[in-house]
């Protein structure tokens, strides 16, 4: 062992060594911080508009049941689910739709006088093609009047579906799931980045200081207040929207036996084989409902099932929950043979079941399915708080990137993104208020309420977005969205009172608390919006970096848009690369490749003719369905359309449009490829083509992103 002299530690060389080591350590920490900060910023900006829509629509969808009752305008009886005359309803259904050999499902809801009914196709293979139709509709529990899903559609249902982008066929829910995953990533990196500033920002918050600092401190402080809520929503949202990815590993554990997997995950959805029709009289479902509800105290029925109606092995199934006062989780289930009265399956709600209970916990936490209206109001406030955190994060990014040291191109890009994001997000308040007015004023005028709400909401929203986008003033957008939202919100209870005579005080006195609540709810939103509107003074706008360092949109042609030196360097670099393909040429080639790939994928169905598979699908009439044309236009036609337009158009808006559609198509291609791997593993040629299409999508997204920059 060598003894180090005591005075060596104080020598100049050792001090320099310590200083350099500390410098490297600080540089490493700084580099990690910068990586996390940039990751947090980029992930947040990419998903911010979509995430805002998810939280804003989700906040209102918490009151979906109350909104449907308010929209309908008729008093509700608040009948106990166990007291519904199911036998009368089932007999009427059997007269109109032959129920023999079908499976039935009833969703009871909680407040409304309607129950949802799903009737599966008949299992008897000897029956006609019409017997293979499925049915989904709602039934009024007293009159047994039925309405299709489109007829009883409500603005609450619309906002609930918008909450997970259901309006995008097939890929919407997965898009929402990936947004949730990115949100989880942004939360974790945000905590690490802002950790040291959390406590100080609570004590140093001052709205009179620089606007960027106001947004930063509010973003940090309010983000932490809602942190548990946001973390919970990110996890549960990703779980519900990406359940396919959750079930893929479980599918391996069950050796591909998906039927057994689903029976274990959802025992009430168990399917029984059809063994033949019974000659016995159909037993009473009412008695079974009374029996099940009386099994446990404070037990409410939520769903009912009839398996193999009128069959020798018919089953009655009822599922329910204990009331909140009895426990947070309490799933009860009873399965009986209705002919003999024998109980075949029994689930005590006071006894836990890991697989069922964990799903129920996630559902209750995500949808605030506990604690009644007070808990939903708390969720609503926290959702709007999260919307503010999202908006403030975007505003921080906008403020920090508007510097004179940046090129005009960079500043214009930042401003444009800010205008688009603010227009999309903030205009949702007045548009949603207008949608409530629309459904109340048009109630009973449209046979297909679903289409009417779709057209009104999206066209109105698009009009607001375009107006505020080209107004190019975030202060104006914020101020007048609050003003219009407040004014329209105050009109909602007035319109309801005039049309239905259910004024606020009338609804309260007649115990129509759902109608009373929605009117009062909108009054609260309207007053809050108008109060905030009154607090927004021009002096706030003056603190913005865009007021101190403005962009003159009227004289942009006279400004130097790009830096010549950087352009010449790029051209020199390109000219030295012999294998270089022009960016637009590559993008055109990839669009054409995708279009041809989808055409080949669609005609691969002809390949199966040689192996005795029928060419005509079940129910074919000789005329391709309209949705099939739409599907082919979206995936084949748009690919070729974008290839054609790229030849002539290079505007920034077109690049953005190309990137958005390429990303949507890419996500669908990835999903379709993964689905084919697990469910069509023997179709090697199709999997190969889907792999090529997926790879081309990835290349396309990358090249459009570079072209846009």
Tell me: pLDDT of 625 over 50: yes
Give me the mean pLDDT over the 314-324 stretch. 90
Query: In this structure, are 282 and 416 located in the same domain?
Result: no
- More confident site: 544 or 144: 144
Query: In this structure, are 640 and 691 located in the same domain?
Result: yes
Query: In this structure, are 420 and 530 located in the same domain?
Result: yes
Lowest mean pLDDT: which of 3-7, 306-310, 444-448, 530-534?
3-7
> What distance in Å separates the CA atoms of residue 37 and residue 200, rounded to the nearest whole number?
19
Give me the mean pLDDT over the 607-618 stretch. 45
Query: In this structure, are 611 and 532 located in the same domain?
Result: no
Please report whether residue 330 resides in a domain: yes
Query: In this structure, are 437 and 326 located in the same domain?
Result: no
pLDDT at position 601: 61
**Tell me: the pLDDT tens digits for 477-519?**
999 999 999 999 999 999 999 998 889 999 898 888 899 999 9
Alpha carbon distances (Å) from 258 to 241, 244, 263, 396: 19, 12, 9, 48
Sign of torsion over alpha carbons 532, 533, 534, 539? positive
Sign of torsion over alpha carbons 126, 129, 133, 139? negative
Query: In this structure, are 310 and 407 located in the same domain?
Result: no
665 phi and psi angles, rounded to 5 deg: -65, -35
Please report whether residue 538 resides in a domain: yes
Q: What angle do CA 123, 128, 129 make, to 5 degrees?
A: 85
pLDDT at position 575: 47
Tell me: pLDDT of 634 over 80: no
* % of the chain with per-residue pLDDT over 70: 75
Is the whole model's pTM more than 0.75, yes or no?
A: no
Of 151, 59, 68, 158, give the one whose Cα is nearest residue 113.
Answer: 68
Q: Are strands 104-107 and 299-307 parallel, antiparallel or unpaired?
A: antiparallel
**Tell me: the pLDDT tens digits for 164-184?**
998 887 788 888 988 888 888
Give me the mean pLDDT over the 126-144 stretch. 77
Tell me: pLDDT of 339 over 80: yes
**Tell me: the pLDDT tens digits for 658-709?**
888 888 888 877 877 777 776 666 667 677 777 888 888 888 888 888 887 6
DSSP string, 624-642: --HHHHHHHIIIIIHHHHH
State the total domains in the chain: 3
**Is residue 186 a contact partner of residue 40, using CB atoms and an 8 Å limit?**
yes
Question: What's the token pair of residue 102?
Answer: 């079908």
Query: In this structure, are 558 and 666 located in the same domain?
Result: no
Tell me: pLDDT of 308 over 70: yes
pLDDT at position 638: 78
For residue 629, give every residue at least 6 positions away whose Cβ sits within 8 Å of its Cβ, in sequence order, or none.
none
Query: In this structure, are 461 and 313 located in the same domain?
Result: no
Please report whether residue 375 resides in a domain: no
Query: In this structure, are 683 and 606 located in the same domain?
Result: yes
- More confident site: 622 or 185: 185
Query: In this structure, are 556 and 609 located in the same domain?
Result: no
Average pLDDT, the chain: 79
Q: Which residues pair with 119 in a beta bridge?
A: 104, 135
pLDDT at position 307: 92
What range does the domain containing 530 cover? 401-562
Sign of torsion over alpha carbons 251, 253, 254, 260? negative
Query: In this structure, are 534 and 608 located in the same domain?
Result: no
Q: Are strands 299-307 and 315-322 parallel, antiparallel or unpaired?
A: antiparallel
Lowest mean pLDDT: which of 5-19, 141-155, 313-327, 588-602?
5-19
Name the domain boundary from 367, 384, 414: 367
Query: In this structure, are 406 and 496 located in the same domain?
Result: yes
């Amino acid at each position: 062992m060598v003894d180090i002299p005591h005075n060596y530690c104080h020598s100049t060389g050792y001090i320099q060594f310590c200083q350099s080591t500390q410098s490297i350590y600080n540089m490493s920490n700084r580099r990690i911080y910068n990586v996390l900060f940039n990751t947090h910023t980029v992930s947040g900006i990419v998903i911010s508009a979509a995430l805002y829509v998810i939280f804003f629509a989700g906040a209102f969808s918490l009151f979906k049941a109350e909104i449907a009752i308010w929209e309908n305008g008729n008093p509700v009886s608040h009948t106990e689910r166990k007291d519904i005359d199911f036998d009368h309803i089932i007999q009427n259904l059997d007269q109109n739709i032959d129920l023999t050999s079908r499976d039935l499902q009833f969703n009871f809801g909680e407040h409304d006088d309607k129950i949802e009914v799903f009737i599966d196709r008949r299992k008897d293979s000897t029956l006609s093609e019409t017997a293979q139709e499925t049915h989904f509709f709602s039934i009024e529990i007293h009159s047994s009047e039925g309405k299709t899903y489109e007829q009883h559609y409500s603005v609450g249902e619309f906002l609930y579906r918008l909450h997970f982008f259901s309006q995008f066929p097939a890929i919407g829910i997965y898009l929402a799931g990936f947004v949730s995953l990115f949100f989880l990533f942004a939360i974790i990196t945000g905590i690490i980045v802002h950790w040291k500033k959390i406590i100080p920002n609570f004590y140093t918050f001052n709205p009179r200081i620089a606007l960027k600092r106001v947004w930063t401190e509010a973003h940090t402080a309010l983000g932490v207040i809602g942190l548990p809520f946001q973390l919970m929503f990110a996890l549960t949202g990703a779980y519900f929207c990406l359940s396919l990815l959750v079930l893929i590993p479980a599918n391996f554990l069950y050796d591909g036996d998906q039927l057994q997997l689903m029976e274990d995950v959802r025992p009430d959805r168990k399917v029984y084989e059809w063994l033949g029709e019974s000659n016995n009289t159909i037993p009473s479902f009412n008695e079974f409902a009374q029996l099940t509800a009386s099994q446990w105290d404070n037990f409410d029925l939520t769903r009912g099932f009839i398996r193999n109606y009128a069959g020798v092995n018919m089953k009655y199934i009822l599922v329910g929950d204990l009331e909140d006062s009895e426990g947070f989780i309490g799933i009860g289930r009873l399965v009986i043979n209705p002919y003999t009265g024998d109980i075949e399956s029994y689930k005590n709600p006071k006894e836990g079941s890991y697989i069922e209970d964990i799903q129920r916990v996630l559902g209750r936490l995500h949808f605030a399915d506990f604690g009644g209206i007070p808990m939903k109001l708390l969720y609503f406030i926290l959702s709007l708080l999260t919307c503010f955190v999202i908006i403030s994060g975007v505003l921080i990014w906008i403020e920090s990137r508007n510097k004179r040291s940046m090129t005009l191109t960079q500043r214009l890009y930042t401003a444009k993104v800010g205008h688009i994001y603010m227009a999309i997000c903030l205009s949702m308040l007045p548009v949603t208020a207008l949608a409530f007015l629309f459904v109340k004023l048009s109630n009973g005028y449209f046979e297909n309420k679903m289409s009417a709400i779709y057209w009104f909401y999206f066209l109105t929203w698009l009009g607001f977005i375009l107006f505020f986008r080209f107004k190019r003033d975030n202060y104006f957008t914020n101020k007048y969205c609050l003003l219009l939202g407040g004014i329209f919100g105050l009109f909602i209870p007035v319109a309801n009172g005039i049309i239905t005579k259910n004024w606020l005080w009338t609804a309260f006195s007649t115990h129509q608390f759902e109608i009373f609540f929605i009117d009062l709810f909108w009054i609260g939103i309207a007053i809050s919006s108008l109060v905030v509107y009154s607090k927004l003074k021009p002096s706030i706008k003056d603190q913005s970096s865009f007021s101190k360092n403005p962009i003159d949109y009227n004289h942009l042609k006279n400004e130097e848009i790009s830096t010549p030196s950087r352009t010449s360097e790029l051209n020199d670099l390109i000219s030295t690369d012999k294998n270089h393909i022009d960016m637009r040429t590559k993008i055109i080639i990839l669009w054409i490749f995708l279009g041809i790939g989808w055409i080949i994928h669609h005609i691969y169905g002809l390949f199966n003719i040689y192996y005795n598979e029928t060419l005509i699908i079940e129910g074919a009439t000789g005329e391709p369905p309209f949705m099939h044309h739409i599907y082919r236009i979206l995936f084949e036609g748009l690919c070729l359309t974008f290839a054609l337009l790229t030849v002539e158009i290079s505007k920034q808006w077109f690049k953005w449009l190309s990137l958005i559609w390429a990303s949507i198509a890419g996500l669908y291609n990835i999903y379709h490829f993964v689905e084919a791997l697990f469910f069509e593993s023997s179709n090697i040629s199709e999997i190969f083509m889907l792999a090529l299409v997926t790879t081309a999508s990835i290349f396309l997204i990358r090249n459009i992103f570079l072209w846009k920059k």
